[in-house]
Each structure stands twice: as C-alpha cells, then as structure tokens.
Structure 1
C-alpha cells in the first residue's frame, strides 16, 4: 500500500472513531447528571436507581403528571450542594416509614416524628418515652421550632396532588424526601421502594436483602394459593357518609385478593385506586359476598349492634346475616405500619380469611366481629 493510500485509510479510521465517540456523548447527554449503572427495579414504576463508586442517584417520577420528575436525589460521600451524605438524623412524618426503618434496624436514625400517638412501632414508642425521639406534632401542622432544634439531615413526608408544596418546611433548607411510594399500583412495587430508602441511609445491601425476603415469600404464598380451590368471596371496607370506598380491581389490595385465589366482585375493574360507590351499587355487585372485612380506628372492638346503629342497610349484606364479619382496629393493630412494606403479611392474611378450611394459622390483623 502506497503512502497516500495509508494516510487515507488512517484518516477514515480516525473519522469513524470520532463519529462513534460523538454518538456516545450525545446518548449520554440524554442522561445528564446520571450516576453509574442503573439498578433494575422488578416491580416499582415510579422510582429509578443508579449506583457508582458509592454514589446513588434516585429519580422519582411524578405520579400525577406523566413524563415529569417529582424529585431527584443523590446520596454519597462527600456531600455537596448536589449530593446529600448518608442520613444519620431524620424526622419522619409517616408511620409506615417508621416501621420500615425498624425492619432495617435503623430506628436510631429517627430523631423526630409526627402524630406519635398513632404510631404503633414498639421501638419508636420506646425511644420516644426515653426522650430519644421527639414528637413534632400534627403532620398537617408540624412544630417547625422543634424540627429546627433537632437539626435533621432530612425530612420524610408524603406528597399529595395539588397540595401546593410543603409550606414552611421548604424554607428550612433541610432536604425533603418525598415518599410517593403509596402511589404505586402494585403491592410489591410499593414495597420495592425500600431499596431506595435503604440507600439514603447507606444501607442498600441490607434493604435489597429484606426486599428479597418479601418478594420470595410473597411468590411462595401466591404459588401455594394457586393450588387451592377458589376461595371465598370478600367485600372490603364499609360505608362512609353516602359513599362506600372499595379497592379497584388492579389496586394493591385487589391484586392481593386475586393472588390469594379469592373471589372479588370488582376483580375485573381496571382502576388502580379506590372506587367510590353508592350502597346500592355495593348491594347489587357485592351484596352476596361470603366475607366482609373492614378496617376502622376505635377505642374498642365493634359489634353487630354498633354496625346497625351506624347504618341499618348493612342487614342486606349476606356476610352480615351469616356473621362472617372481620374487623381490623387500626388503633391497636399495626396494619398501616406493616403492610405497605410487608405485602407478604397481607397476602397470608387473605389466604387465611378466604381459605379457612386449610388451617393456615392465626390471623395477624383481622378479628371476627362480636356477633352481639
């Protein structure tokens, strides 16, 4: 090959390399600021994680505006104006996230909570009694002065559509972790957010291990339920004012009933949230359900007489007539604490409720209503 031909070939090779590098740069530019390698999420739809060299970036999608980002958080060492250090001191507004930190062995990182009287997490209540955790008041109107005194690294709080932000909390200069996990439509999708929260504390491996236990236990229970004959039909919740709110067919509870091989009148509904129905609609569609299971917050267990004082129409329900009514008093039972991040517990509960002939053990959350 002559000299001119060699120079031409070399020039062509350099141009090809330049084009490849330029293309890669353009592709990377679409993910400006991304950190390292994406961590695949098996179920969660609203949070994406990437890890690299001890740094984690989480991108939380806006549940109410498709294609928009609600929040991007970076955590790692050293912290700077774009990166927070692994959290050591946090104020937590939500009971389910207090319980998650207890599952992860991280309640020592909680320095403040809101609505302490409603939190049924033994370790949190014990530390509050010892003065290690401060009650910062009502979550809707928190004590800002107490929060400032605690000097937290971050505040965990749930966002709501159209709330207009977090008011005075946003002016404190304290990072706000928006806990939008409750907007996931699948139970395992919500639970998988523990992998994100664990990384905020530098405990990603611990959180991954716990989620593996939750997922594998859930799948094992689901496979077991599939071997059973079709279970009993169930009606959930009760009338509130003029409306009966019941889970949509593709909601987390609707899916858990399906995975328990139970029957649900609204199983074919495509809504991922709650259905707001009239009592007439409930009677027409679900009045003949075998089991009625509802939650409430009260000072004592309810009775049939209490239900009739509340609404005489309950007499029309088959489960009311047969006495197959189960109640969960959330003032003493940690349903809202445990089930968001342990959906396997709730799946087991539904299997027991809907397949009583299998003697699968005792109920964890529900109790049979007093038939007086």
Structure 2
C-alpha cells in the first residue's frame, strides 16, 4: 500500500468523518470500504445517491484477537482472493496457538497494568477487551481482568494506583516512549512498582518510514506478533531467538 501511495495510484480522499466527496466522485470507485465508531457516517447516504455502494467494517469491535484478523476474509471475497485470505488467516492462527502454548510453559503469571492518564483520567483496557485477552493468553495476571467492559475503563488515578501499585509490568502506556517523559507528565506514575523498576513496555517506539506507529498499522492483522512480543517481555528467555515486532522498553 505504501508503494502504491508513493506512485500515486492510491489517492487521499480524507478521513471517514470528513470525506472529500468531490474527489471520490471523480475517482468513481466500484466500492467504498469504511468503518464507524457509533452512528453511520453521513457520507454513506451521499454516496448511495451517487450509486456508489459502501461497506462499513466493524472489526474493531471484536474482543478475540483472531476475530479481528478474520475480517481479512471479507477483503478476500471482495478482491477475489479468498484462497490467499484464508491461507493468511490460517497461518496467523497457527502461529498464535503455537506461541500461546509456549506461554503456558511459564512458571509465573506476572501482574500487569496498562494504559495511561489523560486529562486526570486513567484509561485501562476493560477485562473483556482485545488487549485483556492477549494478556491472558500471554500468561499474565492483568489486574483489571474482572471488569466486564469490552472497551476502556475510565478510572481515577488513585483507583489505579491503589490496585496496581505492585504491578510487575506496565504494558502499553498509551503513546509514551520515555521513562523521564512519563515521570514529568504524571508524577503519580512513580507509585507503580513497574515504573520504578523500569519495566514499562511501549508500542510507540517502532515506526514506519513516514512516522506511523507500526502497532496501529499492523497489530490487528498480526495478533500472533503482539502475543509473541508480550510473551517475550513477560517471560524472559522463553522466546528463544525472537526479536519483537512492536514493543520495546521505554527509553530513559
């Protein structure tokens, strides 16, 4: 896709909330593939009048990591590449299950906290979320696993610190990349054991050639890589010869 963008064969038509309708009409696509977070975007009705069909993906609502990846089968049908899509999905499933079995050899289940503070609210993954499932499959004891939310939990800083002050690892502290930056941004972070012991693992350091965070670009299609990364950090030595794809320890 990146090469096609550079060649100009993929055109910029705006974001889902502010689609450049004129450009879309000029391109005259056979199909528009988009997504919606809540209500149907207004552009759907406009494109319908122009007889341009629209499909809205809901893959982000899947709580099972492999469930998100399985949406590639829809693209396989649309692009007449069902065999390739099924082969890709099966390979990801096989690798995910392989790594999950490796994680089950671990002798401990280290405690994990996640998320970060934004405008005085600490957002953590819900106990039924995509990320919580990955923590479980990586043999981690996610400290907010008992909540029923499939999205994020909005909690006070005090609530998180009270429950997670002894967490052994801090995974995915939002877009933070630096330990010093985190301390400056929110001094309360120093109350977390994982922070003081510098066991904070972030996805925000690995970026593509244009500065995009690779985790956001690829993780939904490579949950096996996400799981592998988590197992690598949570259970040192168990993933022999492995190099993480998305995660790294925060820099000083």
TM-score, normalized by length of structure 1? 0.62
Whole-angstrom CA distance in 2 between matches of 1:313 and 1:187: 32
Structure 1 gaps, min length 5? 1-123
* 2:13 paired residue number: 136
Matched residue count = 245
Structure 2 gaps, min length 5? none
- Which residue, 119, 122, 139 being the options, matches 1:241? 119
- The answer as to 2:54 corresponding to 1:184 is no
Change over 3 Å in CA distance of 1:241–1:171 after alignment to 2: farther
Whole-angstrom CA distance in 1 between matches of 2:47 and 2:182: 41
Deviation at 1:210, TM superposition (A): 1.1
Conserved 8 A contact 1:292-1:324: yes
- Which residue, 291, 307, 331 being the options, matches 2:182? 307
- The answer as to 2:94 corresponding to 1:221 is no
After TM superposition, the structure 1 = structure 2 runs for residues 1-372 of structure 1, keeping only pairs within 5 Å, are 124-163=1-40, 165-166=42-43, 168-294=46-172, 296-297=174-175, 302-329=177-204, 331-360=211-240, 361-371=242-252
Whole-angstrom CA distance in 2 between matches of 1:145 and 1:162: 23
Whole-angstrom CA distance in 1 between matches of 2:192 and 2:43: 43
Change over 3 Å in CA distance of 1:296–1:253 after alignment to 2: closer
Deviation at 1:359, TM superposition (A): 4.6
Instruction: Report 1 or 2 for greater relative contact order, CA contacts < 8 Å, sequence distance ≥ 6.
Output: 2
Is the partner of 2:109 in helix, strand or coil? coil
Whole-angstrom CA distance in 1 between matches of 2:155 and 2:58: 26
Deviations 1:260-283 (A, max 9, x none): 111110122232222111111111
Whole-angstrom CA distance in 1 between matches of 2:81 and 2:239: 38
Conserved 8 A contact 2:182-2:189: yes
Conserved 8 A contact 2:17-2:41: no
- The structure with the larger Rg is 1
Whole-angstrom CA distance in 1 between matches of 2:197 and 2:222: 31
Whole-angstrom CA distance in 2 between matches of 1:196 and 1:305: 43
Whole-angstrom CA distance in 2 between matches of 1:217 and 1:262: 19
Change over 3 Å in CA distance of 1:145–1:286 after alignment to 2: same
